[in-house]
Amino acid sequence: MKIIFKIWRYDPQKDVKPYYQDYQIEVKEGMTILDCLYYIKENIDATLAFRASCRMGICGSCAMFIDKKPRLACETQALALGREVIEIAPLPNYKNIKDLVPDLTPLFEKHKKVNPYIVPDDEEEFLNPTGEYAQTPRELENYLQFAYCIKCGACLAACPTVGTNQEFPGPQALAQTYRYNTDNRDHGEGERKKIVDNPNGVWRCHMAGACAEACPKGVDPALAIQLLKKSFFIAFRKPQARLIPKSNKKPAQGGIKSPEPTI
Ligand code: SF4
Ligand code: FES
């Protein structure tokens, strides 16, 4: 089927303002939007800029505004959209670097701000671990869904609050705040609370729910945000993860050795 791709073009070095450029190509069954963009770049216009890496919904690089919704280009089947004309633009709510490439700096800055890692209660144990922290499957379930975030930025592009308030941490950082607060190996919830429990923080979410709809990985940041709000009202108690000393560890079966610690 022949499809016209209406693609946002903008080169800040030569364009006064963005414009749409049309490219018509033959799209075959199975071609993703990313395949179509590569086809255009390799056969029609090498100047087209977009970002992609894994081509399998894991790296989060290829999020863009496809047919007026934030989606991963590598996971969106072109024919499944059922359009003769498909409009593609960079993610909104970010600065546009060039063509389909957004500047994701605010996403990563906000993410870094909430300490997105396990904060130990014992610095010495953190630096020189004497064992592993065991979690039950139930304890893992508490945060697993939110750990699937690939930092694609689609949720911030969909969020009306992010569009109007630069101070708001946004759905991604707030979901990760909840993810780490809920992990029973972590002791960083006090510090994270100071960062997000304020009028421009978690309380600024108006529950539009657009982030949950946009997320390609089923993270549901809107749910995490509501659970985070609730955790600030109800005393947050989590059982401590058990430290299994190295000496008690059963040897790996089949001669497979566990890797050396990376910290
Ligand atoms: S929460 Fe979902 S939409 Fe937001 S950055 Fe993570 S994977 Fe992307
Ligand atoms: S190219 Fe990695 S998520 Fe699409």
Q: Domains along the chain? A: 2-103 (3.10.20.30), 105-242 (1.10.1060.10)
Question: Which residues are CB-neighbours of 24 under 8 A, at least 6 positions away?
Answer: 2, 3, 4, 5
Q: CB within 6 Å of ligand 1 — which residues?
A: 149-155, 171-172, 175, 214-215, 217, 219, 221
Ligand nearest to the CA of 38: 2
pTM of whole model > 0.85?
yes
Which atom of ligand 1 lies at the shortest distance from residue 152's CA?
8
Tokens of 59: 């790296």
Place of tokens 């450029």: 21
**pLDDT by residue, tens only, the chain of 263 residues:** 999 999 999 999 999 999 999 999 999 999 999 999 999 999 999 999 999 999 999 999 999 999 999 999 999 999 999 999 999 999 999 999 999 999 999 999 999 999 999 998 888 887 888 888 889 999 999 999 999 999 999 999 999 999 999 999 999 999 999 999 999 999 999 999 999 999 999 999 999 999 999 999 999 999 999 999 999 888 767 888 888 887 655 655 666 676 676 65
Phi, psi of 183 (to 5 degrees): -75, 125
Dist. CA 219 → ligand 1 center (Å):
7
Residue nearest to atom 7 of ligand 1 (CA): 149
Contact 78, 28 (CB under 8 A): no
**Structure tokens, 211:** 């982030």
SS3 assignment, position 4: strand
